[in-house]
Structure 1
Amino acid sequence: MQKRNLISAASMLTAATLAAAILTGCGGGGGGGSSQTQSGTGSGGTSTPVTPANATDPYTGSPATGTATAQISGQVVSGPTTGATVMAYALNADGTNGTAIGSAVTDASGAFTMTLTQAPTGMIRLVATGGTFTSEADSSTQKNVSMELVAPYVTTTLNSFVITPLTHYASQRISYLASQGKTLLQAYATASSAALQLVTGTDVIDSTNRTHGGVDYLSIVPGSTQDTLNSYSDALTGLEYYGVKYDLPSHTTLRILVATTLAGQDNVTDQNGQPVNVGQWSAGTFDETQAPTVATMTGGISVQDGVTSIVQQMDAVVACNSGDHASFYARFPLATGQSDYLDTSTCATYTSNMNTIKAKITTNNRGKFQG
């Protein structure tokens, strides 16, 4: 009886050993066999590595093109901003910043390169703080306080990012929309599409690819050959002339623009209908806690409308002086049945308006102090 039990036990052990050997040969069983199968390096492994799908493109609803990468580069541009610190963060589902995954400092041209701690599998936010730039409007030195950019994905087809006032607006609005219950994909598409014509009206940035412009514009350097009709450059210059018109530091112009457009409104109040303080100069510094409000400063005209008007008048003056009206109407199309309105009288009005703004350059505080 005892002998039969021993034989039976031995038979069971042999069967178990054989089964384990079969499982190992097939790549099953413990961690060693599993690892070999996933890596494809085991003697019996036949499968290939599994590559995670890229983050979703918010405009196509499909995985983004290219291969995930940890290498990114770009520029910080109101004008080229030197000495700015650029931090990269993973983006949380509620639009807030997650883990920091990289940092860099911009050079004299505003450029930076960065190796992230990992190739992102979702959206990231770049935050540029500090640094200075020369204003395109009055050649004054302006300081950068903070500008942001949200990238929907980072792959070999999208890893160059230009951080500007318009990407900052989009980033801030993405966070707002996410806080209101929108998904990040919904928030991104809404905010970035709006950024393309926030202060240029019909003069849309990246107008050659309207179906994907809200992603493609992230890599466009304002004023470059990619900047269709110079729309992007015009937008940034218009913001600077708005600062000249009201003697505001550039970062204040950006702050009040975002505050009065955050919820998609075109107004002189914030998203809750509350007045937005502008601030005033005091002993060489700009105190943003002080009056006036946007409504008082502008007489009820929104910041968005004010900048858009300046952009249109800037372009009109160029068209009047050059005689190239066609390029102007490519930006600001005539209504059906409307004829060329850039006559002598209209050109004189636009020129006078721009000259009035430029006349403030010599007496403005923004040209004397970094507010």
Structure 2
Amino acid sequence: MHKATEQQRIKVIQDTIRSRGQELRQTYPILQHQDAIGLGIFLFAVAGVLATGWAYWHGHISAWLTIPLVALFTSLLHELEHDLIHIQYFRRQKWVQNLMLMTAWILRPGTINPWVRRKLHFLHHKVSGTPEDLEERGIGNGQRYGIVRTALMLDTFTGNLVRALFETPRGGKMKHALRILRANMPVSVACAVVWYGFLGFHGANAAASVVGSSITWSDLTLANMAWINKLVVILIAPHYLRSFCINFISSSMHYYGGVTSVLQQTQVLNAWFLWPMQLFCFNFGSTHGIHHFVVGEPFYIRQLTAPVAHRVMRDNGVRFNDLGTFSRANHFPTREIEDLAGGRSGQPAY
């Protein structure tokens, strides 16, 4: 039996995904109004953040409800930012794109400047799975799972800044650190200052309490902490929750090393026990691999095409729930992808 080449398998996957997307748009004509859908999702997410924040600020809901709710709404903004980076909405109205990007950045305050991210993300698609993929390396991809990687996934700005100062060869430390600072000014830097100030304040109070003492703070400090506490609950804590989830899933479903084609750049990571994290990154582990084959589809279309896409991806060699990635620091398995042109995969499926 003739076995399909790697490029033939890639083309089969791409053609099937595109065909399913076109079929959905014909069946449901509303899907053809891409700008309107993108704007509608954007306004819904922003309204959700504002309404939740207002309810918490006025004491109507608890912090424990506010944080996950805002994280859910901002996961939509994260997906919209990714689509906007690929110019999926308002191609002729750059000012609308820029307004949406800026709003998404402010409401996800610890993320990198989206216009800088656009350059890194285009590079990511060109060199995914290699040391040149700065975007994925910046969230821990290829790093052994441990303290350093956890720090990167929790806080990419501060984690990368610290790593630059400790790991960059002498003579280049300051240049590397300044480059990271520029890419995160001003929103992400302000977020980090507030966050670590918040942790320091409450950490100092906790430490003093343990030894049976207390700290006398100035009236100005206490007044500032009153609104900082609320800001942390409404925007900053949700950011770190959502950011850790997306960084863990993304850095784990992308491969690093041993990658020679788009078939090997990603896996489908949708094991049932990852659903708590998938919840805060809009099912990213299950659908992002589709994007690597067909870049020009918005995120909500990927959710709809996933059942068909997963079947053709599995049949043509894309790995599913390769949990060995956690012990290999995301290196693609040394054995080649099984050629499935004439059979089924022995990969585990959930």
Q: TM-score range by the shorter chain?
A: under 0.3
Higher relative contact order (CA 8 A, sep 6+): 2
Q: Which has the larger radius of gyration?
A: 1
Higher helix share: 2
Higher strand share: 1
User: TM-score if structure 2 supplies the norm length?
Assistant: 0.24
User: TM-score if structure 1 supplies the norm length?
Assistant: 0.23
